[in-house]
Amino acid sequence: MKSPILVIVILTATLVSVRTFSSGSTCEPAFTAIQSNRSLPSVFVDQGLESIPHLYPRHLLLVARRHSEIGAVRYSLLVYKQDSKVELVTIEGVAVHKLDAWQFSTTCSSETAFNGLVETMERLSSLAKK
């Protein structure tokens, strides 16, 4: 039997993590500038599809876009759960516009993952304006 203090600590940690991922209606993706090359964005997905099964053997792949465009921005995208029983969804990818490139990533709850994906697409479409 767990002590009452341990149970409170576990519940508090769980509530904090739930609030972190489901407090808002969207998940803010983080965009980081990277060096562009001709193999982006396709190579990102190729490497991801090869490495994710080794990193997360019980992963659940939700979306894989190897080469897509939104306006003048080319991008690739992976959306997955590290474990099919886990509530968190990872959205990550790379984007290219002319000679600029970015890597993006966010983690959302299953409830807010769709909003996170929409927010990511909105940010992708605005990259051409920079």
Higher pLDDT, 23 or 60: 60
**pLDDT at res. 129:** 86
pLDDT band per the 50, 70, 90 thresholds, residue 127: very high
**pLDDT at res. 8:** 35
Per the CB < 8 A criterion, the answer to whether 49 and 64 are in contact is yes
If you average pLDDT over residues 107-116, what whole number do you get? 95
Q: What is the DSSP letter of 6?
A: H
pLDDT band per the 50, 70, 90 thresholds, residue 130: low
If you average pLDDT over residues 10-32, what whole number do you get? 53
Instruction: Look up the pTM and report it.
Output: 0.77
CA-to-CA distance for 130 and 128, rounded, in angstroms? 6
**pLDDT at res. 26:** 58
Domains in the chain (CATH in brackets) are 24-129 (3.30.310)
CA-based torsion, 51, 32, 88, 90: positive or negative:
negative
Q: In this predicted model, what pLDDT tens digit does every residue of 53-97 receive, in sequence order? A: 999 999 999 999 999 999 999 999 999 999 999 999 999 999 999
pLDDT of residue 123 exceeding 90 = yes
Q: What percent of the chain has pLDDT over 70?
A: 79
Per the CB < 8 A criterion, the answer to whether 91 and 27 are in contact is yes
- What single string gives the DSSP state of each residue in 34-60? E---TTTTHHHHHHHHHHHHHH-TT-E
